Structure 1
């Protein structure tokens, strides 16, 4: 990897870090990102909440345990404490991003999001259909032209497109997709909102 590619990836990573950190503030303030007055927010974080809180508990216990173990080694103790606290904040931040950055059904488009790493805007005229469709996609065997936006290893809505859209991943990779599968806490209501958008 050349210096230019490394710098570009470092910028993308820094932007991602900034988004999940900002999400912590939005979460505390009980606000959402990118949801206007005329928009319908479609939450998807409920399925991942138990795992997120479980990980936070485990990391907090680990932080306390390691602090006792390294109490006699101040430098190592400080380094591990900072790493453990960052890890706890990261897990909370990613969950906060899922809560505060829901999918959005707006007057002219559908935004499909996954935490702070994906924000795909699909214009209304490019959506052919939407339906409830519970799936457990295999991340090791992606389908050509299909974007699986899984939460807790599941998707519950399939959106077929009349024209493909370009999805941009966390590291800037681009893919043309004709089908988008995502998850919603209430998929039936989400599908109804998308169908209403289509008229």
Structure 2
């Protein structure tokens, strides 16, 4: 019994570790892109941000992370080993928050000749060819807090990538399409969806780019 339980939990542990590693690498990738001023936008495409509603919150967290480093260092300065550990953790946390902010700027939604690329933070990156897309509309919707990403509305399976419970663009797909979401089922894994709802800071510009590139 114990052996079976250990074997069954091993894949879950590896899955969590692999996900954490991917996020960590993406943090440093985003910082590198920010330094080089090279956002992840395909040639001929236009990038559309989705950070405006959360920008102030991220900046506050970064400021607090930076402020707590000298404060904690002052508290534990008489214990060298503890001081070094706390300093490393503090710098790592600050770097992580800066990388997350960079990810919002460097990993925008993209509308281009090949189709639409939808992103959300560090993990979600979904690409759809124009042949996959039936329609794109500007529809602003506010969902109740803690509404799951995956829902069913009017008989259609929806994926909602909200920013502070809001979406501003609705993309209807030609057919049920498999998308990969971070985490384990039921929230993560592979799911078939027919509608994608997302937030962009510039929905009018997003639709203009769609009209330019959509066949």
**TM-score (normalizing by structure 2):** 0.84
In the alignment, does 2:128 pair up with 1:116?
no
The residue aligned with 1:133 is 139
For residues 73 and 186 of structure 1, what CA distance do their matches in structure 2 show?
51
What is the number of residues matched between the two proteins? 198
Structure 1 stretches lacking a partner, 5+ long: none
Tell me the secondary structure at the aligned position of residue 62 of structure 1: helix
Per the TM alignment, residue 70 of structure 1 is displaced from its structure 2 partner at its CA by: 1.0
For residues 47 and 107 of structure 1, what CA distance do their matches in structure 2 show?
28
- Aligned residue among 3, 18, 22 for 2:29: 22
For residues 141 and 102 of structure 1, what CA distance do their matches in structure 2 show?
23
Per the TM alignment, residue 169 of structure 1 is displaced from its structure 2 partner at its CA by: 1.7
The residue aligned with 1:182 is 198
2:115 and 2:214 in contact (8 A); partners too? no
The CA RMSD measured in Å over matched residues stands at: 1.8
In the alignment, does 2:83 pair up with 1:71?
no
Per the TM alignment, residue 46 of structure 1 is displaced from its structure 2 partner at its CA by: 2.8
Q: For structure 1, which segment, 188-197 or 110-119, has the greater mean C-alpha deviation from structure 2 after superposition? A: 188-197
Q: Give the number of the structure whose alpha-carbon radius of gyration is greater.
A: 2
Runs of 4+ displaced beyond 4 Å: none
The residue aligned with 1:162 is 174
- Aligned residue among 132, 151, 158 for 1:146: 158
User: How do 1:63-102 residues align onto structure 2 when only pairs under 5 Å count?
Assistant: 63-102=69-108
For residues 85 and 136 of structure 1, what CA distance do their matches in structure 2 show?
36
For residues 97 and 57 of structure 2, what CA distance do their matches in structure 1 show?
10
The residue aligned with 2:56 is 50
Deviations 1:130-163 (A, max 9, x none): 1222223345332132111123442211111121
The residue aligned with 1:191 is 207
Tell me the secondary structure at the aligned position of residue 58 of structure 2: helix
Tell me the secondary structure at the aligned position of residue 194 of structure 2: strand
1:122 and 1:165 in contact (8 A); partners too? no
Q: For structure 1, which segment, 40-49 or 82-91, has the greater mean C-alpha deviation from structure 2 after superposition? A: 40-49
Structure 2 stretches lacking a partner, 5+ long: 1-7
Q: For structure 1, which segment, 49-58 or 143-152, has the greater mean C-alpha deviation from structure 2 after superposition? A: 143-152
1:105 and 1:194 in contact (8 A); partners too? yes
Tell me the secondary structure at the aligned position of residue 2 of structure 1: helix
For residues 92 and 168 of structure 1, what CA distance do their matches in structure 2 show?
26
Tell me the secondary structure at the aligned position of residue 193 of structure 1: helix
The residue aligned with 2:5 is none
For residues 139 and 3 of structure 1, what CA distance do their matches in structure 2 show?
34
The residue aligned with 2:4 is none
